[in-house]
């Protein structure tokens, strides 16, 4: 079939950020499916709590302080995370590099405290179903945290190389900010379920 050019694409930008970019939508897709996984795990916890005669099952409630410190750290990290987003939008290399280093620190710090969270649950995973669910929920979020911190560290190193000087890398930084928000947000209901539900 003969062809006739009716649209000129040559003037279009070669990258875009936020909902203009396919990567943003891909990130959203993974957030949706991981969020579903968290919601179902939380649902399983509530289901078992609902059918149990009492909650927690034969164990003292967890010590909430390590979890509370993690929550405070994660909530605090939202501020530098969004400052980083602003710098990435403006392609400001030095603040972006500093912001990424700060976010690496804000990622590693809750992981260090997380180490103390597991013993503070006051029960093992193989004691009963209540203990199993606490470990599962905390384990799920720890895996989540670990993978995103790993991702942030690799991106930070990348932005310190010559590859950082490309528009799409700043888009990657914005997507990393977006995903970190999800890591923080996903934690809040888990924090309530793990530490406060056994108290009420």
Rounded to a whole number of angstroms, the minimum distance from the CB of residue 69 to other proteins is 25
Task: For the beta carbon of residue 130, count every other beta carbon within 10 angstroms.
Answer: 21
The two structure tokens encoding residue 81: 């995370």
Dmax (CA) for the chain in angstroms is: 77
Radius of gyration of the chain (CA): 21
Nearer residue to other proteins within complex by CB, 60 or 150:
150
Q: Which long-range contacts (CB under 8 A, 24 or more apart) does 24-27 make?
A: 24/171, 24/174, 24/175, 24/178, 27/175, 27/178, 27/179
Rounded to a whole number of angstroms, the minimum distance from the CB of residue 31 to other proteins is 10
Nearer residue to other proteins within complex by CB, 75 or 143:
143
Which residues are near other proteins by CB under 8 A?
1-16, 19-22, 25-26, 29-30, 32-34, 36-37, 40-41, 44, 47-48, 51-52, 57, 90-94, 125-133, 135-136, 150, 154, 158, 163, 165-168
Is residue 193 within 8 A of residue 137, CB to CB? The reply is yes
Rounded to a whole number of angstroms, the minimum distance from the CB of residue 26 to other proteins is 5
Can you tell me the distance from the alpha carbon of 87 to that of 139, in angstroms, rounded to the nearest whole number? 33
Nearer residue to other proteins within complex by CB, 71 or 114:
114
Rounded to a whole number of angstroms, the minimum distance from the CB of residue 135 to other proteins is 7
Rounded to a whole number of angstroms, the minimum distance from the CB of residue 136 to other proteins is 7
Nearer residue to other proteins within complex by CB, 76 or 95:
95
Nearer residue to other proteins within complex by CB, 8 or 200:
8
């Amino acid at each position: 079939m003969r062809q006739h050019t009716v649209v000129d694409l040559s003037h279009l930008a070669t990258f875009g950020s936020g909902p203009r970019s396919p990567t943003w939508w891909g990130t959203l897709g993974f957030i949706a499916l991981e969020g579903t996984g968290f919601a179902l795990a939380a649902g399983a916890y509530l289901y078992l709590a609902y059918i149990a005669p009492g909650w927690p099952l034969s164990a003292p409630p967890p010590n909430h302080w390590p979890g509370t410190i993690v929550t405070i750290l994660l909530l605090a990290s939202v501020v530098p995370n969004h400052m980083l987003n602003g710098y990435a939008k403006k392609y400001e290399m030095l603040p972006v590099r500093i912001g990424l280093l700060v976010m690496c620190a804000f990622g590693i710090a809750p992981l260090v405290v997380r180490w103390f969270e597991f013993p503070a649950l006051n029960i093992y995973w193989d004691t009963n179903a209540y203990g199993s669910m606490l470990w599962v929920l905390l384990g799920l979020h720890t895996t989540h945290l670990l993978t995103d911190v790993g991702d942030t560290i690799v991106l930070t190193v990348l932005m310190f190389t010559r590859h950082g000087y490309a528009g799409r890398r700043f888009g990657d930084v914005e997507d990393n900010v977006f995903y970190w928000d999800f890591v923080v947000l996903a934690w809040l209901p888990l924090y309530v379920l793990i530490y406060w539900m056994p108290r009420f």
